[in-house]
Amino acid sequence: MRRTPIAHVIFPRFDVVRPVPEFAWEAARSLLETDDLDVEVVMPVPARFLRRAQDLFRSFRGATTWPPELEARLQSLDPRPTLVPFVPVPGRSIEAATAAMAAHMIARPRAGRPRSIQGSFLDEGGYAAAMIGRVVGCPAIVAAHGTDVRAARGHLSGSAKQHRRQQRALQALQYADRVVAVCHHLAQELAILGARADVLPFTARASRFVPLGNLVKEGDAQAATHGTDGTDETEILFVGRVSREKGVDALLKAFAQTAVRRRGRGAARLRLVGPPAEGFDVLSLAQALGVANEVIVEGEVPQDRLPPFYANASCLVLPSRAEGLPCVVAEALLMGRPVVASDVGGMRELVDDRVGRLVASVDDPERLAVAIDEVVMAAKAGAFDPAALRERAMPTTWEHSGPKLAALTRETHARARSS
C-alpha cells in the first residue's frame, strides 16, 4: 500500500534533556504506526553561522540559549527529524522559521511534497503548519493546547511579544483546515472566537506509565515508603515548569501548612520535578517559609525517568493558574496516583473526588493544604484504587487518541481531494 506523506511541524525546546514536547512528538509517532500514513517531522533550527548572534541576543534578554549539543540530540531522535535552518530575526523568529520551512517544502518536486501538514500550538507549530499549507497547497491541521488559546483571546500581557503571539494564533485559526482542541474547555474557548474545534486529547502513552508500586529511584536512599517501624513517610510531587504560572509559589505556602508535614510523625517532603522558570527563585521562597530542608528540586528529567517519581509519590499536586489538559495529571493517574489540582482549563475532565481533589483557587493556601491532607490520608487508607485511577486517564492516552487523529487526517485528505 502506498503511504500518504504527512508533514508534522515541531519547534524544538532549548533543552537537551527533553528537546521536544512529548505530546506533539507522540502525535507524529501515532500516525507513523498506521499502514497508510507516512510522517516526516520537520524542525526549524537557527542557522549555524548566525547561532552565536542569536545566543547573544537571547542572553541579553535573559532567555535560554541554544545548547551546542542540541542539534546532535535532535538528530538522534526516532523518527529522525528533518532540520531546516533559518535566519533568526529578533522578535520574529517564528515567522522566519515558518518562511524557511515553506521554502524548503516548495523547493521539492511536487511528488515529494506532503499531502497535509500538522502542528501543535496555535502561535507556533500550528501557525507554521497553516502558513506552509497555504504555500504548498495542502490542508493544515492545527492543535490548540492552552496558553496559545489564551494568547488568541488576548488574555496574556499586552506586550509587543504577546501581541505577535495573538496575531499568529488568530492566523492559524483563520487558515487551518481543521482545528483540534485537547479538551472540551478549550473547544468552548475557541468557539467564542468563531472557530470550530474537534476535541482530541493529547497526553501520554499508557504503555510508558504503568503502576510500579513503591519503586525506589536509583541512588535515592530517601524514596517515599510506608515503613513498618512506626514511621509514615509522605512525598508530595510536582511535575512541570517550576514557576508561578504553575502555582509553585502557592504549593510551597500550602505545603508549609499541611498537617502531614506538621504532625511530627515520620517525614514529609515536597519534590519538584521540572525546569526552573526565569525570575522565580524557588529555593529562596522555600527558605523564607521554613521548608527548605523538606523541598527537593530535581530539575528537568527525561520522560522515561518520570515513572519512578510518580511511583514514590503519595500524590501529585498541580496548582496551575491556567491549563489546557495537563499531561502530567494523566501520567500520575496512569501510574495509580491521586491528584490535587486547581479547577482551571480542562482539569475537571480528568480530576474529581474519585481520583483526587480540585481546588477552586490556588491563592488560598489553607484550602490547598486541606485538599493535600485529605488526599494523602485517603491514599494511605487505600481509598484510591490504582486501577480505577488508571482507567480514568485511559481515554486521553495515545492508545485511544492516535487512531482518532489518523481518522481525522484521512477525512481531511478526502475533503481536500473532493473540493
What are the pLDDT tens digits along the chain (419 aa)? 678 999 999 999 999 999 999 999 999 999 999 999 999 999 999 998 887 777 777 777 667 788 889 999 999 999 999 999 999 888 899 999 999 999 999 999 998 899 999 999 999 999 999 999 999 999 999 999 999 999 999 998 878 889 999 999 999 999 999 999 999 999 999 999 999 999 999 999 999 999 875 444 433 433 333 333 334 689 999 999 999 999 999 999 999 999 888 765 558 999 999 999 988 999 999 999 999 999 999 999 999 999 999 999 999 999 999 999 999 999 999 999 999 999 999 999 999 999 999 999 889 999 999 999 999 999 999 999 999 999 999 999 999 999 999 999 999 988 888 87
Query: Residue 194: left (phi > 0), alpha (psi -120 to 50), or beta?
Result: left
Q: Closest Cα to residue 8, out of 40, 38, 35?
A: 40
What pLDDT score does 266 carry? 57
Hey, what's the cell of 233?
A: 513517610
- Could you confirm whether domain 4-203+397-418 is CATH 3.40.50.2000? yes
Reported as half-sphere exposure (CB side, CA atoms, 13 A), residue 186 has a value of 31
Q: What Rg do the C-alpha atoms of the chain give, in angstroms?
A: 22
Contact at 8 Å (CB) between 235 and 312?
Answer: yes
Query: Is the Cβ–Cβ distance between 29 and 20 less than 8 Å?
Result: no
Please enumerate in sequence order all residues whose Cβ is within 8 A of that of 87, keeping only pairs 6 or more positions apart, or say none: 47, 50, 96, 100
Backbone angles phi, psi at 302, to 5 degrees: -60, 150
| ∠ CA 356-359-362, rounded to 5° | 130
Nearest to 42 by CA among 76, 6, 15, 68: 6
DSSP letter at 7 equals E
Q: Is 266 left (phi over 0), alpha (psi -120 to 50) or beta?
A: left
Amino acid at 231: T
Helices assigned H by DSSP within 176-224: 184-192
* Helix then strand then coil, % of the chain, to nearest 5: 45, 15, 40
Averaged confidence pLDDT in the chain: 91
Dig out the grid coordinates for 202 from the structure.
Answer: 493529547
> How many Å apart are CA 116 and CA 141, to the nearest integer?
8
**Strand-by-strand arrangement of the 198-199 sheet:** 82-86, 37-46, 4-9, 116-120, 140-144, 178-181, 198-199
Closest CA to 364 of 340, 339, 330, 332: 340
Exposure on the CB side of residue 382, measured as CA atoms within 13 A? 0
**Rounded to whole angstroms, how far apart are CA atoms 29 and 37?**
11
Start-to-end CA distance of the chain, whole Å, equals: 24
The DSSP output letter for 403 is: H
Side chain identity at 400, as an amino acid letter?
H
**Same topology between domain 4-203+397-418 and domain 206-395:** yes
What are the cell numbers at 15?
Answer: 533543552
* Cell digits of residue 144: 490548540
Residue of 4, 214, 217 lying closest to 116 (CA atoms): 4
> Residues 57-95: pLDDT tens digits?
777 766 778 888 999 999 999 999 999 999 988 889 999
H helices of 137-280, where? 147-152, 160-175, 184-192, 248-257, 259-262
Residue-wise pLDDT tens digits, 364-384: 999 999 999 999 999 999 999
Domain boundaries, the chain: 4-203+397-418, 206-395
Q: Find out whether 288 and 312 touch, Cβ atoms under 8 Å.
A: no
Strands (E), 198-355: 198-199, 234-239, 268-273, 295-299, 315-318, 339-342
Burial class (CB in 10 A: 0-12, 13-18, 19+), 289: middle
Q: Which CATH class is domain 206-395?
A: alpha beta
Distance CA 259, CA 271 (A): 17
